[in-house]
Each structure stands twice: as C-alpha cells, then as structure tokens.
Amino acid sequence: MSQTATHKANAHGHDDHGHHKENFITKYVFSQDHKMISKQFLITGIIMGCFGMLMSVLFRLQLAWPNSSFPILEYLLGSKWAPGGKLDSSFYMGLVTIHGTIMVFFVLTAGLSGTFSNLLIPLQVGARDMASPFMNMLSYWFFFASSVVLTFSVFIESGPAAAGWTVYPPLSALPKAMPGSGLGMTLWLVAMVLFIGSALLGGINYISTVLNMRTKGMSMNRMPLTIWAFFFTAVLGLLSFPVLLGGSLLLIFDRSFGTSFYLSDIFLNGEGALANSGGSPVLFQHLFWFLGHPEVYIIILPALGITSEIIAVNARKPIFGYTAMVISMIGIAFLSFIVWGHHMFITGMNPLLGMVFMIFTLIIAVPSAVKTFNYLATLWRGNIQFTPAMLFAIGLVSFFISGGLTGIFLGNAAIDIQLHDTYFVVAHFHLVMGCAAIFGMMAGIYHWYPRLYGRMMNKTLGYMHFWLTFIAAYMVFFPMHFIGLAGIPRRYYQFTVLPEFGVWDDVNVLITVAAIVGAFSQLLFLYNFFSSIFYGTKSEQNPWKSNTLEWTSPIDERLHGNWPGAIPTVHRWPYDYSKPGYEDDFIPQTVPDDGNEEVLAHQHTSSPVSPEKTITPEVVHFSALLLKWLGLRQS
Amino acid sequence: MKIKLSGKLKNLLILTTAFLLINTVSGAVIKESISGKPVDDATIAAGKTLFTNKCASCHAIDNKLIGPALKDVHKRRQYDWLTKWIRNNEELRKSGDKDAIEVWEKNNKAAMNTFTDLNDDDIASIVMYIEDASAGGDKPAAAGPTAVDTGLSAPVDPSLISRVNWMMILLFVLIAVILFTIVKIIDQVSAIRGSEVIKWNEINGLICVLFMIAGFIACIWEFSVHGKMVLPEAATEHGRKVDQMFNITLYFTGFVFVITEFLLFYFAFKYRGRKGKVALYYSHNNKIEAVWTIIPAIVLTVLVIGGLKTWNGITNNPERNKFNVEIFAYQFGWSARFPGADGKLGNSNWNLIANDNLLGVAIKEKAEGLIPVLMKDTADFAKQIKELPLKLAVLKSDLGGLVGEERDAQLSKIAEIEDGIAESDLRKSTSNRVIQIGRIKKSLETANEKAFYDNSGLDDIIVDNEIHIPINRTITFKFRARDVIHSAYIPMFRSQINVVPGLPTEIVFKPIETTKEKQAKLNRPDFDYYILCAKICGSGHFSMKMKIVVDSEADYKAWINKQNGAFVKEKPTAPVENQKDSTQKILAIN
C-alpha cells in the first residue's frame, strides 16, 4: 500500500519503477490493470446474467403452462426437480431466489458498477490506475469466488436457497422449514459474504481515486457525470453493505450456533417446538433492507450517470443542468439511507415508523423526477445520433419513467397494503432494475466497447438487439401491473388457489412468450459482443467524438498507466458540445481556453476560481461552497 | 362326448361358477371401495369436500404439488395403512413403519400435517373420492392444475409437440441466418460506398415515434382490457379509501407518464441528427429547475398527506379489540379461533401445540397431558441414538444390491450417520423437547399459572376453511404464526399484514358488504372473500387460503351458534356475543 501512496497523480508511469515481465497470468488472470479488471467484471457479469435469464425462462414456462409436461426439463433437471416434466414447487422457489440474487448482485451491481467504475474512473479523472491496483484485483477475485459458490449452490442435492432473494428468517434459518434452507442457504450466505468483500474493496478504491487522483485541472465540477455517479454509488455501498454483512452473520449464528437473533415462538411441523425464544424476524428485515434500499440506488445511479454521458455525447449538447444533476444525486444518495422501511410497511412494525418512511420515500421521488426532466431537456434541440448506445439510453429513460412512477404508489403506505408482495411490485422493480438499469449497462457496453477492445460492435445488430429487447421487456412487465391489481401475490408457483385467478392464464402465456423472445434477442448481443472482439471493425481513437479523457488514451494492451507520457491537463468541463464559434461540434477537455471564450455564465472553462471572483448563479456558487465544506474541492 | 363329473367335483364347479358369477355381477353393479364400503355418490361428494378443505392445498390427483400425486394411491397402499398415515403420519413413522419412513424421505423429509380429528367415515369418504377421481371422476376444484378450463385440458399428442418444437427451432435458425445475411450485406455495401447505405438516424427516429404511438395504443388497450380484470370494489370501509388514494395517485402519475413519454420519443424523432444540423448549446436554466422541482414536490406533498391520513385511519383505529378473531397461519393453511361464549380468547403458547391442540391454547389438562407425550419423545430419541450403529450396519449391508438413484440415496443416508449429522439432529431434537417440558412444567407451577391457564380457552371455537364475520362491525383479526413468516392478505378487504412467529400482529377493519350482496352485485354466485398468503413461506406458499364469509348479523349469529367449542363437546348454551375485551395473553413461558 505504501508503494502506491508514493505515486502521485501526475507522476511517472507504471514502467518507471522497473519493467517487470508480464506473463499470461499477470496480464489476463491476476491483472492489476483496472481496464483488464473491468473486462473481467463485465464478462463474469454477462455469464452470470445468462444463467439468471435462463432461470427466469424456466420458471416462466411453469407459470404459462402449468398443465403441460416438458420432457426436456426432466431430462436436464432430473426427476427430483422436474418430475414428469413439470418443475417441482420447491425448485421453482429456488429458481426464483437465485434469479433474483444473481440479477441484483452479480449482474447489476458487479456487472454494471464493477465494470464501469473500474474502466472509467481512472481514465476519466486522469489517473494512471486506481488508488490500490492490488485491492482492485482482489475485489474482482472475491467477486469471482462468490459467483462460483453461488453457481455451485444451484446444483447441490438439497437444492439452492429458496426463500426468495430476500431470504427472510425463520424460513431461511431453518433447514427443516424448506429443503433449500439447508446447505443451499449456507452457500448463499458464503457467496454474499465474499460478494460484500468484493464490493467494499472496490468501493474504497473508487472513492480514493476520485478524491485523490484527479489530474491537474480536473476539479470536482469538471468531472463527467459518470464519475459523480460512481462516486456516490461507492459511498452508498461502503456505508450499507457492512450492515448486510452483519445481518448475514447473525443469520449464520442462528442457523449454525443455536442463537435466537431472529427466531422465537416456532413450532415446526414434523420437528416440534423449537427452543429459540426472544428473537425477532423483523430485525433481519431491518438489517437486510438497510442495505437493500441503497442497493437499488447503487444499481441505478451508475446507469443514470452513464445515460447522462451518452445522451450528451450523442445529442451533441451539454447535459442540461449539470449542477442540478449532481445535487439530485446527492439528494438521492442521502435520502436512500432513510427510506428502507418502505419495504416493511406491513411487517408488523410500528405504524408510526411507516409514516416516517412514507414521507421520505415520496421525497426521494423529487430528485429522480428532476433527473428525468433534465434528460428530456438535453434531447430538446439536440442533433441526435442514434447509435445503439443512444437508443439504450433513451430506453432507460422510458423505463425509468414507467417504473419510477409506479414507485409512487408503493411508497404510499396506505396503497402499499394492497399492493405489497403482489405482481405490482414485481412489475415496478423489474421496470426500474431489470429494464432501466440493464439498459444502462447495455448502453455503456455499446458506447465504451471501442475503449475496451479497440473495435466497434456491429451497429445493425445493435439496433435489432435494442428494439427487440425494448418491445419484449414492455410486453413482459406492463401486464404484470394488472395481475398485481387483481390481488395475485408474487412468488406463486401457479395461479390455482382461487378460480378467478384463472382468467390470467392467457396473460401468463403472453408474458412468457415475450420473455422467451427477449431472451433470444440477447443472443444477438452475445454474438455481437464476442465476435466483435476478434472480427469487429477496428475503432478510431475517438469514434463518438466525445470530450472526455478516456478517448485521449491510446488503446494498446501493452500500455500501462493509460497515457504514454504525461497525463493530460484539463482545461474545461466535459460538455462543450456544439459550442458556438467553434468548427467542431465538440471540444475535448484537454483543449485549453484560448482566452476568447464567451463565458456562458458557466464557469466550467478556465481554471477553478475562488467563489468571489466569479459571477456564477447562486446554484453553482452554492454547490462550489458545499463541495468545499465537504472537503471535496481542490482550492 | 359327455364328461362325467363326480358329485363332489360337480358341486365344486357349481359353487365356483356361482361365486364367480355373483362377484362379477356384483362387481359390475355394486362397486366397493378399498375401505370395504359400497361406493355411492353422496360419500364421494363428502369426500370431495373434505379433500378440498384439508388435502388440496398440498395434493393433487394427477401431479405432484407439495406432496405426491394421489392418483391410484388406493392401489398402492393398504386401507389400514392409509388410515393411520392420514390421521397421524408422525406416529406411524415413529413406530418404525418402513413404508411411512420411505414416503417421508422421498418427499424431502417434509412432514405432512396431522389430521387426528378425522373419524373413520371421514377417511373412508376421502379415499372413496380419490378412487373415483383417479378413475376419471370429478377433480378437486381450484387446487390442482387450472381450475378454469382454458382449453388446455385435452392432452396433446406428444409426437406433434415434438414436431412443432423442431419446426420452431428451424424457423429461429432460418430467421437468424436471414438477419445475419442482411446485416452483412448492409455493412459491406456501406464499406464499399464509404458512407452509410441506410440513414439510421432517420429510421431510428421514425421507429421511436412509431413505438410511442403503438405504445400509447397498447396502454389504452391494457387499461381497457386488463384494467377490467382487476379487483372489484373493496368490501371494507377503509378499503374504499385505499382505492380512492390509488385512483388519485393514478391520475397524477398517469398525467406525468403521458407527457414525459411523449416528449421523450417526440424529441428523439424531431431532433434526429441530419447533415448540417447543429444542436443548441444550452447548458442549464436554474429557473426551470426550480419549477420542475417545486411542482413535483407539491404534488407529492398532497399525496403524502392523503396517504398519512388514510394510513393513520387504518392502523390507529380506536375500535380495535371490540370483536376479536384469532387467525393462525401455518405451513400451509389457516385456522381461526373465535372467543366462544365468554367473549374471551384463551391464552396460547407455541410450546403447547400438539396433535390434539393444534393452536397451542392454554388448557391445563392438555398441557399436563402433553408432558408425558414429550417425555416419550425424548426416550424415543435416546433409543434412536443408541440404535444408530445398528442402523448404519444395516444400511451398509443393504448397499450392495442397489444401483443408480437408490444407491445414491442410500449412500446419503450412510453419510448422514457417519458424519454425525443424524446424531446431532437427534440430540438437538432431544434438547428442544427437554426445554419445552421444562417450560410447560414451569408454567404449571409458577404464580402465573392461574392467570395463564384461566378457562377462557375452553369454549374457544376453532374453524378451518371458512369463517363468518358480521357486517358493519369493526373486526380485529389477531394473527399468530406457527412456523415461519406468512402474510395475511385479504385482497377484497384491502388488508394485509405479515404474520410473524413471535410478533403478534393484527388488522382492524369494518366489512360493509356481505358475501351475498357482493355475489349479487358481481353476478357471480361463486364469488367469495378469501385470505391468501403473500409472503414466501415454503413450497406450499401458493395454495394457502381460507374463505371469509361476511354475513348479516342474524346469519352470523346462526353460524356461530352452530359451531362447537374446540375443547368441550357440548354446544355453547348462551348465544355468543363478542363484546368483552378479548386481548389475549401470549405468555412467554421461558
């Protein structure tokens, strides 16, 4: 660690302290280069995503055709999990659980945040690498270990964890309450502990790099919005993941060491009265959701940051309201810590708490709305280039609107009584996470692919991928709102408990068919992604004509330290697109101010100035002051 | 040639023929169930009701649900064995019955609930019903595969399915090949020409606006078609307010949805990039930021205030505890307990749960009677621990003849014993029993005893499957869970609360429409109010339900007076009034 501390941001490149020989292992496996690590996160995330998607197709088959037998299921899964070609109800629960766990943590957190924070933070702030490349490498390998453990847990004899991705005790604490709560649950907990380790190691790195290793001229308010987003995401993770770790440890104790943190008053059929007394299952829920809520913002913030960047670049316009975007991120980040109880309105906790959480939850809708309006204003009067990345960014905004608005229903405790744990909730979180956030990831992949692999992904396939996925995703999740409004709970193996639920059988078929089409559309993406690595058109240095620093770094795998010579100095903010009076419709951050710049009431050009010298509007002034108070501003 | 038979042989022949004839004829005319009873429709119907109420949440005839499929179970098992198993499978397993243990192990060691209250006639009717259903008779309603005939009931020829599957795969492959070819052509022509063949900006911009139009049409379709399939009007007072809250929120969010989605796709189309076009360098406008921060804040404040009022009205109802009914959730069903003539719900504790006291009500005799049962259990466990080496030896010696899955299962069992898991499980169970015995003894001996074992529980009425409540009275449902977290969700009442082991919860509501009124209003004579489970609770999560019938005051009184106290044999002498404060004590006896 002391070695890296002596590396200043603008110091010599990696080669300087003795060129060491790279072999396959140090270059591709245990790499400490942030770009390689980001690829590792990406590919592992994609593979886990395929696995999670496969599971969703399997349980959708059960929901659409509960009467039919699929002999291939019995062939693949065996007669224990698919007797007679129909999924076993316990295994169904396991599929639902692992699908949720994989998608939330392994794809959307690691695959989105892990990939892009690692790739972009050093490149966009102008650093040679992360603050601690070694810890960064560890963060990937903890993630890999976690993925392996979780994947293996699906194939054990007693089945994977099956109490939902939220794994509430007592169900998840008692192996005799359901088979998946045996070894499967233990492995789930092991995987989560490893995952949390990965997240913390990464998060510390991201924060340190952003705060300490920005290049000359890169003040906080000249950072691209992606970096702001990754920064807040890392802060959220650092403060909230440890609470889940604590909650998981207590669950491990209850399961294995006879404690009663979460257990009390339990009589298990077939086992008898358990001795545990005094614990509260609601405690676990508090500990879980204290992470769980920030977790969903950990997922969406990077996606929103990526969208800000991609929309600006492709509309050839500055992102509208840069400062408002930053402040709304601060608002979201802060508020996300005090709304977790909205997942628990009907858990039996004190209704007064419900009132408190409701108020804060509806407040957090405001900054989210502001961001959406800013995206719309960025598109307005733009010169929109429809790259696949841009389409995915636009798709994200559409899903964010749809999913975010239904959050307003759920955040209202009185309405939540009716909608909690129904398909309405499933529709809501899939629209915001399963659609909006994943589209952010896709947008990022299509946009920064040239930076990752030096080649372009095929554009036509990208368009097809987008439109098929976009339409399929809406067809899958929009009808679910109505299924929820009909009072049908989630995590149901089949809709047979009441005869009137049978009217939704056709809708289930529609949803499943759309889901299968959506799943197959991802093959377009997978083919595009992997074949373009080897056969894609070689990319130019700055294919999207973007202003940010990552496009000034040559794409050469042999190059460590990102820039061959000195790290560039930054003279302006990253959003000078279509600035009047210039030949090009973009001005990279490294282009100096020639002194004749019209100061358009936005002190993002010229070097950072102390507050009194500028004639900035109050909002910018305030943000500058705030940043100074937070110790974030280099003055 | 005439065959001359001896006298004896002739008699034998006549007798045999007669015997066969009679049996064949009678077999054709009077069928017999394996219970020995003659098959008749009334018994089958009774059996169907019992099956639907008690078995259907975990069993179907044709396929495995939570428990195995019951088709032709009467051909696989003896009637005596079935009777013992159904009534108390735990006891049967403990007695060492090999078949019982095998069934239990094959079913992931998930124990079936016990039904000690079923008498011989009940069980005979259930079995008769299963026999009939297996032979193609009426299947249980709303518990097996789809109750509503969706036209999928006719089995499809599997070879046809196979052919269709292959054709679909071929179709996909062809489409993929065509797509790729198109892509390749486009790319190569563009490369040759040096410029884009297709104006992608124009096309994508156009598709954006087409998608928007199609999307809005689809929304309208959704609201008008699926929107009509949602829940009917709420049947409780607060439920109507919840729905009002929902509708107000829908108006606001719907308005925002239409405007923003429109602008999104319209801008994407209108400002699609074209040669020579320049974007407007417009980086911020703080005034408009203020506008679109403050307006949403105001709207949300309105929604918050409305929500707080509604929520407070629901959760802080001054009329709570005026009419209490306990609802008990367990894997996988519901039970209800009414206070009985004394108007008080008896106390309860999980340590008192037993086969003859499924809800653990505090009844002194039952508690005292439970202690020897538990002590026998501990003795059993001790015996089993002692016998483990013998069991291991038997398993090992049997191993030789087994192959495949059976061999794997046997190896697992061996590993379980060798790794010490079997022993530690038994020791844990023993320790649980010992602590339980200690707690019950303490509860019987301490000063709390009189307060806890007051006789308020003796006349409690326990009902499964269907409960009745009176209209226009504020009802408090008090919830208790037996094993894991369940969630009591009554969609038609707009009520939901988690049922948590160790944390008593409740809902307070006032029904304002009787079941009959609702059925008439909806023109659906089979419509009913149900409580469902809405928190994942295990493999049977999807089939927990209990019917709630809202009656007029008179009908309710008639119903409750027909019910027997669970622990007394006579009917209540006084009509049941539910006036007293029946806050029950769930004493922690530890």
Q: Taking CA atoms, what residue in B is nearest to A485?
A: B230
Q: Which residue of B has its CA nearest to A391?
A: B204
Strands B466-470 and B545-551: parallel
Model confidence over B383-408: pLDDT tens digits?
A: 999 999 999 999 999 888 888 878 88
HEC-encoded secondary structure of A7-42: CCCCCCCHHHHCCCCCCHHHHHHCCCCHHHHHHHHH
Closest Cα to residue A592, out of A566, A562, A568, A565?
A: A568
Q: pLDDT exceeding 70 applies to what percent of chain A?
A: 90
State chain B's mean pLDDT as an integer.
86
Cβ–Cβ gap B253/A405 under 8 Å: yes
CB pairs under 8 A between A and B: 435
Residues B245, A412: C-beta atoms closer than 8 Å? yes
Are the beta carbons of A458 and B538 separated by less than 8 Å? no
For the segment A308-357, what is each residue's pLDDT rounded down to a tens digit? 999 999 999 999 999 999 999 999 999 999 999 999 999 989 999 999 99
Token pair 């909205």 is found at A342
Q: Do A496 and B109 touch (CB under 8 A)?
A: no
Q: Which among A164, A415, A579 has the least Cβ separation from residue B536?
A: A164
Q: DSSP assignment, residue A163? A: S
| Of B66, B51, B54, nearest in space to B132 by CA | B51
Interface list for B 319-378 with A (CB within 8 A): 330-331, 349-351, 353, 360, 377
Max avg pLDDT among A23-32, B209-218, B457-466: B209-218
Tell me the chain A residues in contact with residue B199 when contact means C-beta distances shorter than 8 Å.
none
- pLDDT for residue B196: 74
What per-residue confidence (pLDDT) applies to B24?
56
Interface test with B, best of A496, A520, A537 (most B CBs within 10 A): A496
Position A14 pLDDT exceeds 80? no
Q: Distances in Å between the alpha carbon of B203 and those of A134, A326, B189?
A: 47, 34, 18
Q: Taking residues A239-250, report their average pLDDT.
A: 97
- The residue ranking higher by pLDDT, A8 or B99, is B99
Question: Could you report the per-residue pLDDT of A421-475, keeping only the tens digit for each?
Answer: 999 999 999 999 999 999 999 999 999 999 999 999 999 999 999 999 999 999 9
Q: Name the residue among B64, B314, B331 with its Cβ closest to that of A83.
A: B64
CA distance B20 to chain A (A): 39
Q: Which residue's entry shows tokens 């990754």? A: A230
Q: Among B511, B509, B506, which residue's Cα sits nearest to residue B477?
A: B506
Chain B hits for A385, CB-CB cut-off 8 Å, are 201, 273
Global ipTM: 0.90
pLDDT range class, residue B23, cuts 50, 70, 90: low
* CB-facing half-sphere around the CA of B277: CA atoms within 13 A: 17
> What is the pLDDT of chain A when averaged over all its residues?
89
CA of A425 to nearest chain B CA: how many angstroms apart? 12
From A475's Cα to the closest Cα of chain B, the distance in A is 9
Distance, in Å, from the CA atom of B223 to the CA atom of B221, rounded to the nearest integer, reads 6
How far apart, in whole angstroms, are the C-alpha atoms of residue B465 and residue A384?
62
B463 reaches A (C-beta below 8 A): no
Q: With a CB-CB cutoff of 8 Å, which residues 31-60 of chain B face chain A?
A: none
Of the pLDDT bands very low, low, confident and very high (cuts 50, 70, 90), residue B143 is: very low
Q: Nearest CA to CA, how far is B579 from chain A (Å)?
A: 25
**Cβ neighbours of residue A56 closer than 8 Å, sequence gap 6 or more:** A95, A99, A515, A519
Q: Give the Å distances, CA to CA, from A286 to A189, A243, A281, A340.
A: 17, 10, 9, 8
Query: Is the model's pLDDT at A8 over the cut of 50?
Result: no
Cα separation, A532 vs A459, whole angstroms: 11
- Give the residue from B160, B311, B421, B429 with the most A CB atoms within 10 Å of its CB, the best one to mutate: B311
What is the model's pLDDT at position A611? Answer: 40
The answer, yes or no, to whether residue B572 has pLDDT greater than 60, is no
| Residue contact A265–B147, C-beta within 8 A | no
Cβ neighbours of residue A256 closer than 8 Å, sequence gap 6 or more: A186
Q: Which chain B residue's Cα is nearest to A397?
A: B264
For residue A278, which residues of chain B lie inside 8 Å, CB to CB?
A: 502, 588, 590
Asked if B300 lies within 8 A of A408 by C-beta distance, the reply is yes
> How confident is the model over A540-566, as a mean pLDDT?
88
Structure confidence by residue, pLDDT tens digits, B40-80: 888 888 888 888 888 888 898 887 788 888 988 988 888 99
Cross-strand partners of A31? none
Report whether pLDDT(A208) > 60: yes
Interface test with A, best of B173, B483, B519, B590 (most A CBs within 10 A): B483
* Range of A199-208, A577-586, B126-135 with top mean pLDDT: A199-208
- Residues of B within 8 A of A277 (CB-CB) are 502, 588, 590
Residue A393's pLDDT is what? 97
Instruction: Give the confidence band of A11 by pLDDT, cuts at 50, 70, 90.
Output: very low
Structure tokens, B153: 């009931």
Pick from A372, A363, A358, A254: nearest CA to A303? A372
Cβ contact, residue pair B542, A157, below 8 Å: no
Q: Is the pLDDT of residue A242 over 90?
A: yes
Backbone angles phi, psi at A587, to 5 degrees: -130, 105
HSE (CB half, 13 Å, CA atoms) of A306? 34
Distance CA B424, CA A633 (A): 60
Q: A562-588 pLDDT, tens per residue?
A: 898 899 999 999 999 999 888 888 999
Once rounded to an integer, what is the mean pLDDT over residues A501-513? 94
pLDDT exceeds cutoff 70 at B588? no
Q: Taking residues B552-567, what's their average pLDDT?
A: 90
Instruction: Indicate yes or no: CB of A489 within 8 angstroms of CB of B532.
Output: yes
Contacts of B542 in chain A (CB under 8 A): 89, 489, 491-497
pLDDT recorded at residue A4: 40
Helices within A319-387 (DSSP H only): 322-335, 351-379
How many angstroms separate the first and last alpha carbons of chain A?
27
Burial of A133 (0-12, 13-18, 19+ CB in 10 A): buried
pLDDT of residue A619: 46
Nearest chain B residue to A319 by CA distance is: B283
Chain A nearest C-alpha distance from B264 (Å): 6
Nearest Cβ partner for A496 among B145, B353, B588: B145
Interface contact flag, B502 A263, Cβ < 8 Å:
yes
B581 has pLDDT over 60: no
Non-local (6+) Cβ contacts of B465 within 8 A are B53, B546, B547
What's the pLDDT score for residue A465? 95
Contacts of A209 (CB under 8 A, 6+ apart): A121, A122, A125, A127, A130, A131
Per-residue confidence (pLDDT) for residue B575, from 0 to 100 = 52
Q: What is the per-residue pLDDT for A624?
A: 62
Measured in angstroms, the CA of B308 and the nearest CA of chain A are apart by 6
Mutate to test the interface with A, among B300, B310, B352, B373 (most CBs of A within 10 A): B300
Residue B534 has pLDDT above 90, yes or no: yes
Which residue did the predictor score with more confidence, B235 or B1?
Answer: B235
The letter for the amino acid at B233 is: E
Minimum Cα–Cα distance from A517: chain B residue: B172
DSSP structure string for B166-214: HHHHHHHHHHHHHHHHHHHHHHHHHHHHSS-SS-HHHHHHHHHHHHHHH
Q: Which residues in chain B touch residue A524, judged by CB atoms under 8 angstroms apart?
A: 179
Rounded-to-integer distance, Cα A41 and Cα A34, Å = 10
SS3 for A582-616, per residue? CCCCECCCCCCCCCCCCCCCCCCCCCCCCHHHCCC
The answer to whether the Cβ–Cβ distance between B503 and A281 falls below 8 Å is yes
Q: Which of residues 236-275 of B touch A (CB under 8 A)?
A: 241-242, 245-246, 249-250, 252-253, 256-257, 260-261, 263-265, 267-268, 271-274
B contacts of A88 (beta carbons < 8 Å): 64, 539
Q: Sort out which chain B residues have CB atoms less than 8 A from A405's CB and list them.
A: 253, 256-257
Amino acid present at A394: I
Closest approach of A385 to chain B, Cα-based (Å): 5
- The DSSP secondary-structure symbol of A153 reads H
Q: Is B474 exposed, middle or buried (CB count within 10 Å of its CB: 0-12, 13-18, 19+)?
A: middle
